[in-house]
Amino acid sequence: MPKRVIILGSTGSIGCSALSVADNLPDEFEIVGLAAESRWQRIAEQVERYHPKAVVLSDPISAENLTERLCEVGSDTVVWSGADALVRLVEEVECDFVLAGIVGVAGLPATLAAVRRGLTVGLANKESLVVAGELMVRAAANSKARLLPVDSEHSAIYQSLLSGRHEEIERLYLTASGGPFRTWTAEQMRSAAPADAMRHPTWSMGPKISIDSATMMNKALEIIEAKWLFGVDPDRIEVVVHPESIIHSMVAFRDGSIVAQMGRPDMRTPIQYAMTHPQRLTGCGERLEFTQLQRMHFEPPDPARFPSLRLGHEVARLGGTAGAALNAANEAAVDAFRNERIGFLEIVPMVEDVVKSHLSADQPSGFEAHPDLTTLMAVDAWARRAIAQCCTV
Ligand SMILES: NC(=O)c1ccc[n+]([C@@H]2O[C@H](COP(=O)([O-])OP(=O)(O)OC[C@H]3O[C@@H](n4cnc5c(N)ncnc54)[C@H](OP(=O)(O)O)[C@@H]3O)[C@@H](O)[C@H]2O)c1
């Protein structure tokens, strides 16, 4: 029986790579659900090709356009839209695997719903864990859902951890390419345009994560993600810059052994690992040729140019609502930068200011150690308003 798969964020970079994995292994998967926000022409092509049972477009006008197109071609795929449509998709459509590939906190309700339903979830949407790590981990324990990381670093750690026991872990090393500004001076970074920030040296990704890589906020989010996925104290999670992106991350065990996972930087590999888990099937990506690999470099990140890493560790230690404040402030500040309302070097200090005000504020916008989803969403909304105010001053 093929695995029945729902792809949330099917029109994005992760979603399209997941569909390419499915194309390469046509007997293994049946695509039963697709979801995106508004790119209806792209999702219409996907519906015509994969014939899912249901499809969601969050934007109602785009959903209307899609419905019209699907009527014209005689498709029997149902189209849902509206506030609860993403959750409905994972709750009502029979499936074995959900790929959480929506960008930002928009992906949280459906990812959490899939976990609560006890499904196997391939997690690319790291923001879900950053915002609601405790809720997600508790829900997975209750429902026996399996959370399989799709982020290449966390997939590497997941695979490396198979060679030891939890109590034997000494350190997790998250590797980072260093992003497009690794060798830029702070002065150059000050005048960086959105197009510069989106020119990632080794990975081809969506715009938000590309800018997060340029500020290294992506690595800060990954520290928090690793804490929740692997139950490791943030002080034992270290970031190492490795510009070639060949070693995707490593685990140091207490006997002195370090286990790493390597491969070419191609997201189809970790996506396929999650989709075919626990099997390893033939992958379609280019293979790594060691004899053509001249050198691998490693260096510590520069805390002065990339203060997001310190912030990531701090928020990971705090837990509670701190991740929701950090994530929402970052999403809003990245949007402001993409729309050229703030400069590149303003992103992280603005986010840090919002996190600090959250920590010192009283309720309802203040810190809470064990929040529910409603509280997390209230902090999210508050942090976005705080960034909007900073941008208008
Ligand atoms: N790209 C990578 O290589 C990579 C690697 C590791 C982790 N990740 C993580 O994977 C996630 C996706 O990243 P990406 O690079 O694939 O982003 P992307 O290319 O920008 O794609 C985002 C996807 O999310 C959909 N989406 C956005 N808002 C939505 C909403 N409100 N409702 C429904 N769908 C919505 C978009 O739909 P539309 O197309 O209609 O806008 C699109 O399908 C992020 O959390 C990112 O951090 C990505």
Encode pLDDT of 30-40 as tens digits.
Answer: 999 999 999 99
pLDDT for 379: 97
For residue 168, the CA-to-ligand 1 centroid distance in Å is 35
| Residue 253 dihedral angles phi and psi, to the nearest 5° | -100, 165
Name the helix (H) or strand (E) containing 251.
strand 247-253
Q: What three-state secondary structure class fits 241?
A: strand
Give the type of residue at 306. F
Gap between the Cα atoms of 36 and 7, Å rounded: 9
Gap between the Cα atoms of 9 and 103, Å rounded: 7
Nearest of 80, 81, 135 to residue 111 by alpha carbon: 135
Encode pLDDT of 269-317 as tens digits.
Answer: 999 999 999 999 999 999 999 988 889 999 999 999 999 999 999 999 9
Encode pLDDT of 189-237 as tens digits.
Answer: 999 999 999 998 888 899 999 999 999 999 999 999 999 999 999 999 9
For residue 66, the CA-to-ligand 1 centroid distance in Å is 19
Give the side-chain half-sphere CA count within 13 A for 2: 13
Mean per-residue pLDDT, 235-249: 97
Q: What is the dihedral of CA 143, 146, 152, 158, to 10 degrees?
A: 110
Region of poorest pLDDT, from 107-116, 202-211, 243-252? 202-211
Residue from 37, 79, 219, 267 to probe ligand 1 pocket by mutation (most atoms less than 8 Å from CB): 37
pLDDT at 147 over 90: yes
The Cβ of residue 133 has, within 10 Å, a number of other Cβ atoms equal to 19
Nearest of 147, 101, 99 to residue 275 by alpha carbon: 99
Identify whether the C-beta of residue 265 lies closer than 8 Å to the C-beta of residue 245: yes
For residue 256, the CA-to-ligand 1 centroid distance in Å is 38
Encode pLDDT of 328-347 as tens digits.
Answer: 999 999 999 999 999 999 99
Gap between the Cα atoms of 173 and 250, Å rounded: 5
299 DSSP 8-state letter:
B
Identify whether the C-beta of residue 128 lies closer than 8 Å to the C-beta of residue 365: no
pLDDT at 375 over 90: yes
Record the tokens describing residue 123, joined without a space.
């997690």
pLDDT for 245: 95
Tell me if the bond preceding 303 is cis, omega within 30° of 0: no
Give the type of residue at 273. Y
Mean per-residue pLDDT, 45-74: 98
pLDDT for 364: 74
Mean per-residue pLDDT, 145-156: 98
Residue 11 CA: which ligand 1 atom is closest?
43
* Average pLDDT value for the chain: 97
Region of poorest pLDDT, from 116-120, 299-303, 332-336, 362-366? 362-366
pLDDT at 69 over 90: yes
Nearest of 299, 297, 195, 208 to residue 246 by alpha carbon: 297
CA 2 to chain centre: 26
Percent of the chain with pLDDT over 90: 95
Name the helix (H) or strand (E) containing 43.
helix 40-50
Encode pLDDT of 90-110 as tens digits.
Answer: 999 999 999 999 999 999 999
Neighbouring residues of 292: CB distance < 8 A, sequence distance ≥ 6 = none
Protein residues with CB under 6 Å of any ligand 1 atom: 9-15, 35-39, 58, 86, 101-103, 106, 124-127, 151, 203, 205-209, 267
pLDDT for 293: 86
Mean per-residue pLDDT, 158-186: 97
Residue 207 CA: which ligand 1 atom is closest?
20
Report the predicted TM-score, pTM, of the whole model to 2 decimal places: 0.97
Record the tokens describing residue 4, joined without a space.
């029945």
